[in-house]
Chain A
Amino acid sequence: MEEEYEILESTVKDFNAKYVDNNSLKLENEAMGKEFVKMLADQGFFSMAGQGEDGKGADIKALSVVLENLAKSAPAVAVKTLMINSFSSVVNEKGIVDSVSNGSKSGTVTFSDLLVGKDQNGSLRVEGGRIKGEKEFVFGSDSDFVITLLDSGELVLIKSGFSAGKRHKKLGFRSIGFSSITVDSADFSIISKDGRKMLERMYEELSIPVAAIALGMSEGVSQKALDYAKVRTAFGHYLKDFQPLAFDIASLVAEMDILKRYFHDLLAATPSEKEALFLKHKALTLAKDISRTSLQIHGGYGYLEDFGIEKFYRDAMALSVLLHNEEKDMEKLAGLVFDARAGFV
C-alpha cells in the first residue's frame, strides 16, 4: 500500500480506538448524533468527493481505505460515510457540498431506483414547477438533501420540501433512516437529463467502496471470532482446538486474505468494471459467510447484541440488499465474462 494510504489507514484506526470501538453498538442502533458526525467530517472522511483525478467523483482509493477500516468496528459509520461521499460526488452546488462535507447537513441518493423494478419504487413528477409524489425505499431518508430519479428520467437534487414516512423494518444500519419519502417541492435542481444513465454510473462507482465495507466487516467480525476462540473453552479445550470451528474460520480467513490482496491490487491500478464487480460479488458473499461462522463460534452469546457479533450478521445481509442487487450485478458480470450482453431466457 502506498504511504499516503497507510497514513490514512492509521488515522482511521486511531479514530476507531478513540471514538468508535467502545461505542459501536450505539452507533449502530441509535442516531449517530451531530457531535459524532461532526468528528467524522473533521477527519475529512466526508470530503473525499471531488478529489478524483479530474476533480470530479470521489477519490475511490482513499475512500475505500477509510471505509474498510471504519467497517471493521462500525459498519453503519462506514455506510454513512459512503453515502455522503457518493452524494457529494455529483453535486455542483458548493454551499450544499460544503454543508455536507462539514457534517452540518446530510445527503443521500436513491439507489433503490435501480435496485427494484421501475414501477416498484414510487413515482415523482414535475407539476407546475413542483416535484410531487412519493419514493418508496429511500435509504438515508432522514437526510437533508436527496438525489433521486424522476419518472421523466431526470436525476434531480431536492433541497427541501420532502418528509420521511414511517420507517421500514431495519435489518441493519439502524442508525440510518430507511423509509419512503413524500415530496412536494419547488426547491430542486436538475443534475442530469439522462438521469438513469448517471445513476447507473454512480452505482458502478459503488462497487469498490461497497466491497471495501464488506471486507472491513469480514476483518472485524473474524477478528472477534479468532479472539474468542482463543479464550473460550468447551469440553476442557479452547475452541480454537476443535477442528470443525478452526477449519471453518481458517478457510474463510484465507479467502478474506486473498480478496484483500486483490482489493489492494485493484486500488493500486485502475480497476475495470469487471474486476470491480468480481471483488464486490465475492466480498459481499464472504461477509455473509464469515459473519455466520463467527456468530456460530460465539454460540448463544453471539446471538446477543452485547457481544457485537450479531450486528455484523445483520449488516452483511443489509449491505448486500441496500446498496446492491445480486441479479442486476450477475447479469452485468455474466455479460462481461462472456464479453457479450446475454439475452437471459
Chain B
Amino acid sequence: MDFELSDEAKEAIVKAKEFARKHFTEEVAERSDREEQFPTDIVAISKREKILDFSNPWKVLVTIEELVRRDPGLGISVTISAFGSEIFMLFGNDSQKEKYMNPVFAGQKTLGLGVTEPGGGSDVANIKTEAKQDGDSYILNGGKMFISNGQIADYFLVLARTSPPPSPEKKHRGLSVFVVDAKSPGFAVNKLHGKLGVRATNTAELIFNNVRVPKENLVGEEGKGFYYIMTFFNISRIYVAAQGLGIAHGALDRLVEYSKKYGEMSETGELKENLQLAIAEIATRVEAARNLTYKAASYLFKFTPNPVVTSMSKYYAADTAVFSTRRAMELMSLHGLTTDLERFFRDAKILDIWEGTTEVEKLIITRMMLKEEGA
C-alpha cells in the first residue's frame, strides 16, 4: 500500500495549480457565474496547453481536483469536454474512436452525454427516447434533460430505446447508445438558465425530432446501452468525487486563510477552540474523502473497478463538499458571504444530485455488498 502519488501526478497538480492561478481570476469566475457564461476562451487555452492528459487517468483525476479547488464552475467547465468518452474507449469500434474520440482527446471537439430525461432522473431504465430502425439508419425521437455541454458539444452519446422491454421488471433491456452529430436535422437545444450553482458550465435540454442517425453510429451492440451507461457511471463517479474533493478542499483553504486573518484569539494567543475544531473536522473529512476516492481510482485504473468503493467515494466526497462549504460559511460569517466561498456553497449542492443522487449511491453500496456476501 503506497499513498504517494507518482511524480507525474504531482507535476500535473503543479501544472493545474499554475493554470488556475493564471486564468481562473476572480473577475472571470464571478462574471461566468453571474452571466451563466461558459468560459470558451479558457477552455480553448486549456486544450492548447493540454491541461488534461488523457494518457494518464491519475493526472486527469488530480487535475480536476486542483482546478475545482480554485473555482468549481470554471474547473468543471475545463475538465468536462470529453464527458462520456470512456464509452467510446470501452465499447466503440475503431472507426468511432478515430472519428469521434480522438478529436475530443486532441481538444478539437467537445462531447456530451444524453442519458437523463425530463421524467426520468435517477430512473435510467425508464427513459422514453426512442430509436427506430429505418433502412440503414435509426430515427430518434424524444428529449434529454440537464445535459452538460448541451449547447457546445459537437457530438452526443445518446441513450435510446431500440426495442420494448421484455417485461416491466426488465426495462433496462432494449436500450442502445448512439452517437448523434449536433448538426443533425431535427436536433434542437434549449439552454437551461437559473441554476443554483456551477453556472459557468453549459447545461441544456436536448430535443430529438425525427433525427436520422446512420446505423454505423450505434455504439457497441444494440440492446446493451444500459450496461454501457452503468459501466460509464462507475468511472465518471470517481471524477465527480474528485470535484467534491476540490470543492471541499477549496472551502478549507478559505477557512484557514480567514482564520489566520480574522480568527478570534483566546487568552493563550491561539485560535478559539471552536474554530480549531471545525478546521480539524473539515480537514479530516477531506482526507477521508480523498483516501476513498483514490482507492476507488486505484481499482479502476488497474481495470478492476470496485462499484462499492466507487459509490462510497462519490457519496462521501459530495457530502463532504456540501458539509465543508456550509460549515465554512457559518464560521466565516459576512466574510464568507462576500467572497468566492459563496459560489462554492452554491456549486457544492449539485454533487449530491448529478451522476447518481446520494440516495442512489447508498443503495448501490448496500446492494453490491449484499450481493458479494451472497456470492
Contacts and interface: CB of A to CB of B under 8 A. Distances in A.
Co-assembled chains A and B: yes
A326 B275 CA distance: 11
B339 A234 contact: no
Nearest to A325: B333
A345 B267 contact: yes
Contacts of B145: 300
Contacts of A171: 337, 342, 345-346
Query: Secondary structure of the A side of the interface?
Result: helix
A303 interface: yes
B358 A296 contact: yes
A314 B354 CA distance: 19
Contacts, number: 115
B132 interface: no
B114 to A, nearest CB: 14
A171 B268 CA distance: 35
Contacts of A300: 116, 121, 145-146, 353-354
A296 B357 contact: yes
A317 to B, nearest CB: 6
Given A120-B262, A234-B122, A313-B349, A321 B194 contact: no
A95 interface: no
Contacts of B121: 234, 299-300
B288 interface: no
B337 A305 contact: no
A268 interface: no
A191 interface: no
A168 interface: yes
A325 B358 CA distance: 30
Interface in A240-260: 242, 244-245
Contacts of A295: 196, 349
B264 to A, nearest CB: 7
Interface string B339-363: 1101101100110111001110010
A300 B119 CA distance: 11
Contacts of A325: 333
B126 A321 contact: no
A94 interface: no
B346 A116 contact: no
Contact of A327 (B30, B274, B353): B274
B196 A317 contact: no
Interface string A87-102: 0000000000000000
Q: In which size bucket is the chain B interface?
A: 35 or more
Contacts of B267: 343, 345
B334 A313 contact: no
Contact of A169 (B343, B349, B353): B343
A343 B264 CA distance: 13
B330 A320 contact: yes
Nearest to B336: A321
Contacts of A343: 267
A300 B360 CA distance: 14
B196 A288 contact: no
A330 interface: yes
Contacts of A327: 264, 272, 274-275, 331, 333
A112 B274 CA distance: 21
B272 A344 contact: yes
A168 B338 contact: yes
B194 A112 contact: no
Interface in B233-277: 262, 264, 266-268, 272-275
Given A169-B343, A303-B350, A321 B334 contact: yes
Interface in A313-345: 313-314, 317-318, 320-322, 325-327, 330, 343-345
Given A115-B333, A295-B196, A302-B353, 10 more contacts: A136-B334, A171-B337, A233-B119, A234-B122, A296-B358, A299-B353, A300-B146, A313-B349, A321-B336, A345-B267
Leading 4 A-B pairs by shortest Cβ distance: A305-B194, A310-B196, A168-B338, A137-B334
Interface of A: 112, 115-117, 120, 136-137, 168-169, 171, 233-236, 242, 244-245, 288, 292, 295-296, 299-300, 302-306, 310, 313-314, 317-318, 320-322, 325-327, 330, 343-345
Interface of B: 30, 116, 119-123, 126, 145-146, 168, 192-197, 262, 264, 266-268, 272-275, 322, 326, 329-331, 333-340, 342-343, 345-346, 349-350, 352-354, 357-359, 362
